[in-house]
Structure formats: C-alpha cells, structure tokens
Amino acid sequence: MTLASCGVVLAGMVTLVSYSVTLYRLFCAATGYGGTTRRADSAPAKMTRSTVVVRFDTNVDKHLPWRFVPAQAQVTVHLGESTLVYFRAQNLSKAPLVGHAAFNVTPAKAGPYFVKIQCFCFDEERLEGGQTVDMPVDFYVDPQLASDASTNDVDIITLSYTFFPSASPAEGKDLSRLAQTTARTKPDPVNGATQFGQRCAACHSLSQNKVGPRLAGVVGRKAGSIPGYSYSRALDGAGLTWTETNLDRWLAGPRQFIPGVRMPIGVTDTVVRRDIISFLASHPTAGPAATSDASH
C-alpha cells in the first residue's frame, strides 16, 4: 500500500474516528499508519525507501560536568521531511561553563545527505551553573540518499554529538538563545485553527470533552487534569505541565513522548505543529460550555 492511498483511507477514517477509537486502532494496527505498529527495533519498509531511521547518540567529555541526552532515542522520518528533535543539556556544576559540540554522522557516506537547518553544532555553548536547556535540531534527510547507488542501502543513520570543555570559553554564547531562534519563525494561529479543524477536531473541541479532552487553556495546564475525562494511566501519571515546548514534542509523536497514552496520531510537520500550538495558546479559557461541563 502506498502512502498516498493510506492517506485517502485515513481521510475516510477521520469521520469515523470520533465514534470509535478502537476502530481507529485496528486500522492503525493493520496498516502501520502513524507508527502504531512500528517498533523501535524494526527497520522501515524497504520496498518504498521513503523513510529512514535516525538515531541519536550523545557523549560528554569527562572533564565537562554536564549531563547531555537526546529527548528521543530515534525518529523515523520521510526523506525530505523537516523534523525537529531535542537534546537536553544540564550543567551539573555551580559555575557557568562553556562547552564545544562536535558531531558526526554514521555511516559516513550518508553524511552529505544529512542536512541540518538549525542546530547548535560548531558553536561554543555556555550554560549557567545548574541550568538546563532543551536544544532543538531541525534537520532533514535529502531524498537523493535513495537515488545514490552508494547510499540507497542505508536505512539507519546515527547522529552523534560530543560536548568537550571549550578551549576558548570567552567566546561562549548563551545557549538559551536557541529557544529564541526557534520562536523567530512567526507562528500563524489562523492557519493553526484550520489545521486544528482538519487534524484534531474529530477527537477534540476547545470547550467540550469528546474522544479526547477539551483543549481550551491547555497551555499552562497540568496534563491529565480535566475533571470528568477518563485519561489513560500513562497520561494521568505523567506529572507534567503543558508548555509550548512539550506540546510540540507531544504533537510530534504522543506515544514516543509518553509511552502508553491513547492519542494515536501525531503531526510530522514542524510548522503545522507550531501553528496549532499558537492557536491553542490564543484560547486560554474554555468559555461557557466548559463551565457546564465541569459542573457534573
């Protein structure tokens, strides 16, 4: 089954989905759509060569007291699809420290096709004592990976980062600038509303619980906290407060972010996620319908 025909079937599913999450799950289990049946250790379908698994590996030199981990062990991406992933760095010492990041891509022959749009590579990075920062890396894998005879057998690419203490700490830039760089592309809440209608409204409304919980005011709210909605234990116990950053990770892949949750699909496009989040952020209150919701 090609991806296009999958999409057509899915479009049909969206109307059904509000009636039956179980049906949706069966559909996903049968087709593998949305990563439902994809396991971390299984290679992508060879026949289309339209996806590749990108794994993340991190190291810290023993002279730099930082913790540095990928937010996700790996992602499966379509060739040419821009994907946003995060790495988290924490300065475990009390003093500000400047680290220098070096990266490499394996297999090396895939290196030229691994394209970073925005990242923290090459730079001297400064973290205040105790500070933790989520560092975004926006990348895509050039579709030519599949047409180059020397690389068309590559279905796993590993991106590996190592942080070393900087040799010239005076040049360190404040790592928190990265958050600002991500935000610079202006989000569009109007497109967010349209996208919400197409991608989320089958299961969610702003003011009422449907298949999923109501979403007005979700930014700044505790996950799993809407009274009268029966959450999965995974989301209920996540102990997390929704921010624009973790909503982005949630929407990129709910079950990759929090294993065991019941929301079956994600949004692969970085810009669409950003727009939907800005739409949700512009609806801080649920309105009158929610008040009556909450009363029973």
By CB under 6 A, name the binding residues for ligand HEC. Answer: 17, 21, 24, 199-200, 202-204, 211-213, 215, 218, 223-224, 226, 231-232, 234-235, 247, 250-251, 261-265, 267, 276
Nearer to ligand HEC, 62 or 239 (CB): 239
In angstroms, give the least distance from the CB of 196 to ligand HEC: 6
CB 27 within 8 A of CB 53: no
Nearer to ligand HEC, 89 or 247 (CB): 247
In angstroms, give the least distance from the CB of 170 to ligand HEC: 43
In angstroms, give the least distance from the CB of 153 to ligand HEC: 35
Q: What single string gives the DSSP state of each residue in 202-216?
A: TT--SSS-SSS---T
Nearer to ligand HEC, 112 or 260 (CB): 260
Residue nearest to ligand HEC (CB): 200
Nearer to ligand HEC, 14 or 45 (CB): 14
In angstroms, give the least distance from the CB of 215 to ligand HEC: 6
Handedness of CA 173, 177, 182, 188 (dihedral sign): negative
CB 100 within 8 A of CB 164: yes
List the one residue out of 51, 164, 147 whose CA is nearest residue 99. 164
In angstroms, give the least distance from the CB of 295 to ligand HEC: 18
Nearer to ligand HEC, 146 or 277 (CB): 277
List the one residue out of 28, 105, 101 whose CA is nearest residue 61. 101
In angstroms, give the least distance from the CB of 7 to ligand HEC: 14
CB 207 within 8 A of CB 215: no
49-75 burial, b for 16+ CB within 10 Å, e for fewer? bbbbbbbbebebeeebbbebebbbebb
Separation between Cα atoms, residue 205 and residue 202, nearest integer Å = 8
Read off the tokens for 279.
Answer: 């739409």
